[in-house]
Structure 1
């Protein structure tokens, strides 16, 4: 890559950097316009987040005049349904049929891991959030870039800040989304928590898209925790928080 590092690419900024530094797929491209795929959850567990991310992407492109490296940008979207199978299929279709050279998204870490493999195989640029350490660790490769905080950073920031404000809240029960993001953050919440003398009195994992949290909350209450920690996101977090509030925890 001409002596450039991944950090250089990120400093220069997503699509423009990739186009300028010559990723193989970009070098082969002959289109007069650059096709960018926004792969978002318009349905499924993260359907509340997908439209917001799509609007943000459109705003960012509009601010750049819908151009990169002198070429016009054509922005297309697909619904990943918050499912790895749907996301990989639609990513491949966009690359093969629409000529997409850049994939932005998905939001879900587990889904993003699957799409990352498509980017690697198709040799196209992949830029996404994601909260699992595998993305930038064991399954890292030259075509995918992660912009979100690492699971360790996210866990440490929350745990340290909370304990500064609530030093006596030592009994914690965890409610964890059962996929890549949840596993990684759970690991580091427990690791950081040990330094604060936190006792983890229980932990439950729930499937992505869970809509009934009463059993989880009842079990958590039985452990008499000082804190119920939710390691989830989107509608799962909204539904879980509502149930915890209704239960009086």
Structure 2
């Protein structure tokens, strides 16, 4: 085939046009990506058993973090989305998939309910997207279920077990019976606490499983009462804990000499119960509004917006969102690999976490606090509910990366 000068010129012109159109398409794609901004999703229970535990209050805490950061990062607006997963893993996974595939959400956080968190955690691994779990407890998230883009922030079942389980056993509560929520979180909390009880020389006399969002605990409490265990451990949360405590009082468990341990109990549940019903309970949290000036300043601002003080889930969500935005800025990119590396590199020092650090398995290490709920006459002002019994250093409260069972750290 003989190519003429005119045909060669036409070919060059066609190539130039193709290159121009290619460059224009690339520029449009980049522009569209920039227009998408940085998207963060709060996925949690907003209408069920954990609605006060996290719920819309966590959404407000995330909004505060975005505002405190300045509302944008890398020249892009930060957009906040939220949805109610109804404590169902299939619903949670479907929402997360829609957010990742269609809405271009960059990070999902809060993720109350361990079964939902584990499902979204696995999806995030597949999609190579960042998730930062705050409201779910299972230590498996940074243990055997760990993954490169997954993080766990405010607390976990191991830290709760070390705090409440270890302290009560050492104080003489050396026999235990568990009321356990019948799903992943309850199993792990019972298992982690049982191990700590036995390590401290105590024994577990039995356990009973109850459905999530249960209302009648009478048969379960009768079994706990019959066990004559010194401590009845509530391996549940939210309204399940509130209902357990109320009905335990009606059955006279505490009056009969048994100690009730709220293994995952927060300020929200204590507020719902009132001091008359909850005084004397021992619990572990990673945050309290009246700890120091920084916690009070944040909590006062939160209160003005919500008319309530934050618990560790809401304060932890604030910290998770703020830390993510700091990591994006430090990485100078939304690229998940680069952001994940920065999350593990940057210290955590904010209203929630003091001198926090993120381990190789994604676990954020920070101090935890053992509290006792005050008697009504000891409370001097609204929301003055806790007496600090002890501070548990982060390296004592949480598994090390090597201890966690995370395959990536072996």
Any idea what SS the aligned residue of 2:43 has?
strand
Q: Which structure has the larger Rg?
A: 2
**1:200 equivalent in structure 2:** 204
TM-score (norm 1): 0.82
Deviation string, structure 1 residues 129-182 (Cα, Å, up to 9, x no partner): 232122112221111111133422220121222234x32x32221111122222
Count of aligned residue pairs for this structure pair = 221
- Long gaps (5+) in structure 1: 1-26
**1:21 equivalent in structure 2:** none
**1:170 equivalent in structure 2:** 174
Tell me if structure 2 keeps the 8 A contact 1:132–1:184: yes
> Matches of 1:100 and 1:176 in 2, distance apart?
34
1:30 to 23, 30, 33: 33
> Matches of 2:230 and 2:146 in 1, distance apart?
38
What is the CA-CA distance between 1:90 and the residue it aligns to? 0.9
> Matches of 1:205 and 1:67 in 2, distance apart?
46
More divergent stretch after superposition (221-230 vs 148-157): 148-157
Any idea what SS the aligned residue of 2:34 has?
coil
What is the CA-CA distance between 1:183 and the residue it aligns to? 1.5
Any idea what SS the aligned residue of 1:103 has?
strand
> Matches of 1:171 and 1:163 in 2, distance apart?
8
**2:74 equivalent in structure 1:** 69
**2:61 equivalent in structure 1:** 56
> Matches of 2:91 and 2:112 in 1, distance apart?
14
What is the CA-CA distance between 1:96 and the residue it aligns to? 2.4
What is the CA-CA distance between 1:81 and the residue it aligns to? 0.8
> Matches of 1:229 and 1:111 in 2, distance apart?
24
What is the CA-CA distance between 1:65 and the residue it aligns to? 1.7
In structure 2, do the counterparts of structure 1 residues 124 and 195 end up closer, same or farther at CA, with 3 Å as the change threshold?
A: closer
2:86 to 81, 87, 103: 81
> Matches of 1:152 and 1:59 in 2, distance apart?
29
**1:104 equivalent in structure 2:** 109
Q: Does residue 156 in structure 1 map to residue 159 in structure 2?
A: no
Q: Does residue 180 in structure 1 map to residue 202 in structure 2?
A: no
Q: Does residue 119 in structure 1 map to residue 124 in structure 2?
A: yes
Any idea what SS the aligned residue of 1:208 has?
coil
Displaced runs of 4 or more, over 4 A? none
